[in-house]
Amino acid sequence: RAKELNSSRPQIFEPGMDTQAIQRWHLETDLRLGLQQKEFQLYYQPIISLKTGRIAGFEALVRWNSKTRGFVSPGAFIPVAEETGLIVRLGEWILTEACRQIREWHERFPRNPALIMSVNLSGRQFSEPNLVKQIKTILDSAGIEGDRLKLEITESMMMNNVEEAITLLNGLKELGLRLSIDDFGTGYSSLSYLHRFPVDTLKVDKSFVERMEDVKDSDKYISIVQTIISLGHNLNLDVIAEGIETEGQMKVLEFLDCEYGQGYLFSRPLSSENAEALLAKENYLNYG
């Protein structure tokens, strides 16, 4: 009914108009401003080898500390950045900053050469025609090899247009990049395509990991996680479990032969300074 009432009105903001649209418009304006004012920061969550207990890399997670809004979670602003196209510039900054950071950590911690930086890619970035070229430029100016960078993409991004996605992923692989499927098991995906995607890693979504300790259905969820891990291994992929919060979850995942883990049990996402302090401590413990 609201639509009927409004249909002959001009599209200006006035009381009674779709407040959600107004809020969105404000958010977009703040996002634009935030980009100009450099209000974004990357946090880094360690990814731990469950075999050795050591830090295998980090996932870069964007944070927005807005002057007008305070802290805004990526779940709230990434979708708006996507819809407005602002994600393209933001995403470019994220990639550039993450690559610069991993280069710096390699120089500072040469005895942990295996460190890999994972960066989330949004759907919009994934369909940018010059993505491969853009990433090549970013790698070159950071002075790092492609195999230091891992991109996290979701099933739905690839299922949009399977053939196009495979071509793009192959282009990224040619740069030496590593690729993960993020939130595996939650999206719309097709097992019949999985073996055709040139990916290296499956990330088990945290909703499955969490429910492994469900009071009623823990058996079912442990089976699901076991199945995802076997699927990954049968396709020659590594598996990362995200959202590990308890020792119990970690033990089960170790038992199921999962290679890597990420979650509050090990560490929350850390500021660059705190991530570096953690690396320094680990370096000291392992090499003296």
Question: Which residues of the shown chain bind ligand C2E in the complex (CB under 6 A)?
Answer: 45, 60-62, 73-75, 78, 94, 120-122, 152, 182-183, 206, 242-245, 262-264, 269
Min dist CB 213 to Mg ion, Å, is 17
- Interface residues with Mg ion (CB under 5 A) are 120, 152, 182-183, 242
Cα separation, 47 vs 242, whole angstroms: 9
Min dist CB 35 to ligand C2E, Å, is 13
SS3 label, residue 85 = coil
Which is closer to ligand C2E, CB of 112 or CB of 125? 125
Which is closer to Mg ion, CB of 60 or CB of 72? 60
Please report where in the chains the tokens 């994934």 appear, as a residue. Answer: 126
Which is closer to ligand C2E, CB of 112 or CB of 262? 262
CA 119 to the chain's CA centroid = 5
Which is closer to ligand C2E, CB of 60 or CB of 256? 60
Task: Please report which residue ranges of the chain form alpha helices under DSSP H.
Answer: 2-6, 19-36, 74-84, 86-108, 123-126, 131-142, 155-159, 162-174, 191-194, 206-211, 218-234, 247-255, 272-287
For residues 156 and 121, the answer to whether their CB atoms sit within 8 Å is no
263 binds, among Mg ion, ligand C2E, none (CB under 5 to 8 A by kind): ligand C2E
Min dist CB 60 to ligand C2E, Å, is 6
27 binds, among ligand C2E, Mg ion, none (CB under 5 to 8 A by kind): none
Both structure tokens of 44: 């880094």
Min dist CB 40 to ligand C2E, Å, is 9
80 binds, among Mg ion, ligand C2E, none (CB under 5 to 8 A by kind): none
For residues 198 and 179, the answer to whether their CB atoms sit within 8 Å is yes
146 binds, among Mg ion, ligand C2E, none (CB under 5 to 8 A by kind): none
For residues 155 and 184, the answer to whether their CB atoms sit within 8 Å is yes
Q: Count of CB atoms within 10 A of residue 270's CB? A: 18
Which is closer to ligand C2E, CB of 163 or CB of 247? 247
Min dist CB 196 to ligand C2E, Å, is 23
Both structure tokens of 196: 């055709």
Min dist CB 3 to ligand C2E, Å, is 32
Q: Residue 54: which of 128, 109, 120 has the closest Cα?
A: 109
Which is closer to ligand C2E, CB of 53 or CB of 195? 53
128 binds, among Mg ion, ligand C2E, none (CB under 5 to 8 A by kind): none
For residues 226 and 256, the answer to whether their CB atoms sit within 8 Å is yes
